[in-house]
Amino acid sequence: MELEVTTDSASTVRHARFGKLPDRVRYEDMVEEKQATLSDAATNPYAGAAWNHFNCLAMDLGL
């Protein structure tokens, strides 16, 4: 008994598009290195002592 292989155009297109795994992405291509900068309190409202502008009941009670 022989096995007949039939392919239609949709199957051929699917195999051409999804028939293999994509190329591996190197780790160096996924990582971006940037120079660290100091935070500027004038432009960043959460820098420095900005935490004391929020109310906290536990802190007010000294807990």
Residue closest to 40 by CA, chosen among 50, 31, 32: 50
| Measured CA angle at 21 (ends 18, 23), to 5 deg | 125
CB 30, CB 38: distance < 8 Å = no
- Structure confidence at residue 26 as a pLDDT band (50, 70, 90): very high
- In the numeric block, which tokens belong to residue 12? 């051929």
pLDDT single digits (tens) 27-63: 999 998 888 877 666 666 665 555 555 567 776 777 6
- Kindly give, in sequence order, each residue whose CB lies less than 8 Å from that of residue 47, ignoring residues fewer than 6 positions away: 39, 40, 41
The whole-number pLDDT of residue 21 equals 85
For the entire predicted model, the pTM comes to 0.29
Specify the amino acid at residue 28: E
